[in-house]
Amino acid sequence: MKKLLRGLFLLGALAGAVYAARGYLQGRSPAKETVQIVFDDGSVRSLDSNTTQGQEFTDIARKLVETGL
């Protein structure tokens, strides 16, 4: 019984470590997608990819970057 509990404890600790490492690595991944439009009057509009409008741009751009123009 004692061995079983120790095994479960070690298994839980291992799972926790894997989860923490995954979160740490995901937190470090940069690749934030943004859109910047410059108009002819010099003004700039930025769109984040977490907006519907920004996502329309980044979805197409990602494919073009992957395949090449």
Partner 1 sequence: MAERSGAGTVRDLDRVLADLRALSEDIESCAVLSGDRDLIFSSHEPGVDRERVGAMLAALVYLSERVARESGKGNISQLRIDAGGGHLLVVQLDGGGVLAATTGQEARVGLVLYDMRNSRGEVEKALAERGDQ
Pattern 49-68, partner 1, x by CB under 8 A: ----x--xxx-xxxxxxxxx
| Residue whose C-alpha is closest to residue 51's, from 39, 35, 67, 66 | 35
Amino acid at 32: K
- Closer CB to partner 1, 6 or 45, in the complex: 45
Residue 60 φ then ψ, to 5°: -70, -45
Min dist CB 23 to partner 1, Å, is 20
Whole-number Å distance between alpha carbons of 63 and 69: 10
Q: Would you count residue 45 as binding partner 1 (CB under 8 A)?
A: yes
Binding site for partner 1 (CB under 8 A): 31-41, 43, 45, 47, 53, 56-58, 60-69
